[in-house]
Structure 1
Amino acid sequence: MNDTLLRQWAMLRSIPRHPRKIDASSLQARLVDAGFAVTLRSIQRDLIKLSTEFPLVCDGSKPQGWSWHSSADQLNIPALEPNAALTFKLVENYLRPILPTNTLAQLQPWFRSATGVLNSTSGIGIAAWPDKVRVLPKGFQLQPPVINEQAQAKLYQALLQEKRAFVRYRPRYRSGHKEYIINPLALVVRDQTIYLLCTFWDYQDVIKLALHRVEDVQLLDEPAIQVDGFDLDEYIKSGSFGYLLGNETLNIEVEFTWQGANHLRECPLSDDQSLTTIDENTVLLRATVPNTEELRWWLRGFGDSVKVLGPSWLRDEFRQAAKRLLNRYSEASD
């Protein structure tokens, strides 16, 4: 491959997509840094010549700014390898809900290029991988909640730019809406729900807002207030997404049937989990877990395959719930 072609190839890769742009002098500096000895005049001639073959646009300003057209398939320089195309296809399929709107817009030509590469490859091997893989949510699958796309885009922008925002929000258990000034901190996707972690006004308490309950967002030209020592991973580990009912951990003792305990042998409930055989039908589980509502949902999901032994107050809680359930079914039969 001759030097001129290599230089022009490098030029095409250095030109941004519209609305960003680059002038000939900046291109020359990049090419010199990359080891190409080229004059400014040669750069200008190359740009004019390349614009007849590729979707390059010039804004006519001084100095002239060059861009790829916003819909151009820039990744054809060079073409995507099948493995890279597969990666972009999986990103499109599974990460779309959590990517900022501007990022998605920038990635659209890449997604189209990836689809084209995979479609042009034989229908076996890496090209067939997207048809062979699915990611499913845990448990009974519900339809995802509907999100206001404009509000979502503005919240993502506020998070990226670390700006405050005015939010009109519909609380889960109240009619009407509430209005807050928020400081966005992070996003968490749990099952099919996207949560924004933020603080209100000048407070430091971290709050979770479900994006599908956000009705309106207005960006504010004010820096977001950060939470001292906030760490997203530590926040998640604290059990905040398990609907904490108390800060203490629980040393639980639960009897399972053998069938009910089978998956715990492969997927332990905690680092200190122990399973003790009681008899041919019963296994005793001991584990240290957070005190969450989610723990209760999980245990109830086993139905009559589980019996809570301790702590005693948790056993009483399940006993009372079982009585209420029995009464409800008795009323239904009457």
Structure 2
Amino acid sequence: MSDSIDPLIYQIKVLNLLTKKYISIPELQEQMEYEGIAKSKRTLERTLEKLADHFDDIERRTDSKPHQYRWKEYASGLKLLNMTPQQSVALMLAEAQLKNLLPPNIMETMRPFFEHAHYQMKFAARDRLEHQWLTKKVAVAPATQPLEPPQIDETIFKEVTTALYENRLLNAVYQAQWNDQPSRYQVMPLALVQQNVSHYLVVKRIKDGRVIGEPFFLALHRFLAAEASTFYFDYPTDFKLKSFIEKENRFGYGECRPIRLTFSISWNSGYHLTETPLSPDQVILEEDENHYRFQASVIKTDILERWLRGFGDEVWDLEMEYLDE
């Protein structure tokens, strides 16, 4: 716990914890300790006395020992205090999904909101609908074998996301999977993409002050060093992340060429494709009680071939027609 917090931040923390209901010094102290702030009861009392003297919106009950405090009924308080339990649930779910996709400076501005959401849920009754929803009723099931995320240096992540957010060139030292020695790059960061547990930076390479080649991606966990440069760039208007991922399918690996895929599959193994098609133009060419025969326009990738091989003998008569010839 920290007892060296800046006095102004400490006062803001205290204000954040006040609500429209009276709360005592011991109750406030317990909540402050939960947030990792260790201050004496006397310090908290002096702080609240000073705040109550300067804020007309704070009501002080002196007929109880110890004194109790709250925001007056008409007071707006701090905006954090207006957060409903439903908003707390939404923020906690958002935090879990976004913590590795937002720059640290943005996450830092959101931290008080996330902390307040966690606090509300911690002290919420276990039978509250919001608490049940968060702890018992929703989850994301892995589609493949779960893997532990690779380690990403926090300093590198900060430099990378800062350069990406501010449209600044990035100087990097990168260890490619197949190279014995690391490479030095200057790149134009274009996008951050999460695939399963790994994160990739989509970039264009800069050489001698000029953009060269097509966009490609670098795995964040293979960066050995990164520094956001002082040089800014105009974000390229011709780069479309959705197209890079879906149409070019760069994250599928392999050839990444468009094909018309035709195959037969057993009824049990193929039924889910009638509900979740491979592509918008998928059609069923044959169907009986034992099998389906599908045709769909897809991108040929390593992921597609691994997916097909995973069915073993349940898939047969496989045909691939290249559409870019």
TM-score, normalized by the shorter chain, greater than 0.5: yes
Q: Which of 173, 181, 189 is the equivalent residue of 2:178?
A: 173
Rounded Cα–Cα distance in structure 1 between residues aligned with 2:318 and 2:200 = 35
Q: Give the TM-score of the pair, scaled to structure 1.
A: 0.68
Check conservation: 1:86, 1:114, Cα contact below 8 A. yes
The Cα of 1:277 is off from its aligned counterpart by: 3.8
- Identify unmatched segments of 5+ residues in structure 2: 1-11, 13-50, 59-76
SS at match of 2:200: strand
- Name the amino acid aligned to 2:275: E
Counterpart residue number, 2:100: 97
Rounded Cα–Cα distance in structure 1 between residues aligned with 2:320 and 2:245 = 25
**Using a 3 Å threshold, how does the CA distance of structure 1 residues 119 and 278 change in structure 2: closer, same or farther?**
closer
What per-residue deviation string (whole Å, max 9, x for no partner) do you get for residues 53-91 of structure 1?
Answer: 7xxxxxxxxxxxxxxxxxxxx956533111111111112
Check conservation: 2:286, 2:294, Cα contact below 8 A. no
Alignment of 1:243 with 2:253, yes or no, is yes
**Using a 3 Å threshold, how does the CA distance of structure 1 residues 143 and 77 change in structure 2: closer, same or farther?**
closer
Counterpart residue number, 1:186: 191
Q: Which has the higher helix share?
A: 1
Counterpart residue number, 1:300: 309
The Cα of 1:253 is off from its aligned counterpart by: 1.4
Check conservation: 2:80, 2:113, Cα contact below 8 A. no
Q: Which of 99, 112, 135 is the equivalent residue of 2:140?
A: 135
Rounded Cα–Cα distance in structure 1 between residues aligned with 2:151 and 2:182 = 17
Q: 1:289-328, aligned counterparts within 5 Å?
A: 289-311=298-320
Rounded Cα–Cα distance in structure 2 between residues aligned with 1:127 and 1:75 = 24
Counterpart residue number, 1:229: 238
- Identify unmatched segments of 5+ residues in structure 1: 1-11, 13-45, 54-73, 314-334
Rounded Cα–Cα distance in structure 2 between residues aligned with 1:77 and 1:253 = 55
What per-residue deviation string (whole Å, max 9, x for no partner) do you get for residues 87-131 of structure 1?
Answer: 111122222111211122222222221012122322231122211
| More displaced 10-residue stretch of structure 1: 271-280 or 251-260 | 271-280
- Name the amino acid aligned to 1:304: D
The Cα of 1:136 is off from its aligned counterpart by: 3.2
Check conservation: 1:251, 1:287, Cα contact below 8 A. yes
- Name the amino acid aligned to 1:296: E
- Name the amino acid aligned to 1:179: R
SS at match of 1:263: helix
Check conservation: 2:169, 2:231, Cα contact below 8 A. yes
The Cα of 1:185 is off from its aligned counterpart by: 0.7
Counterpart residue number, 1:162: 167
Rounded Cα–Cα distance in structure 2 between residues aligned with 1:225 and 1:166 = 17
| More displaced 10-residue stretch of structure 1: 237-246 or 265-274 | 237-246
Alignment of 1:288 with 2:291, yes or no, is no
Counterpart residue number, 2:17: none
| More displaced 10-residue stretch of structure 1: 270-279 or 289-298 | 270-279
Check conservation: 2:89, 2:134, Cα contact below 8 A. yes
- Name the amino acid aligned to 1:286: Q
- Name the amino acid aligned to 2:117: A
Counterpart residue number, 1:252: 261
SS at match of 1:78: helix
Rounded Cα–Cα distance in structure 2 between residues aligned with 1:75 and 1:81 = 13
| More displaced 10-residue stretch of structure 1: 144-153 or 219-228 | 219-228
Q: Which of 144, 152, 159 is the equivalent residue of 2:157?
A: 152
- Name the amino acid aligned to 2:146: Q
Identity %: 28
**Using a 3 Å threshold, how does the CA distance of structure 1 residues 75 and 84 change in structure 2: closer, same or farther?**
farther
What per-residue deviation string (whole Å, max 9, x for no partner) do you get for residues 197-237 of structure 1?
Answer: 11111225101011111110112111135435111112222
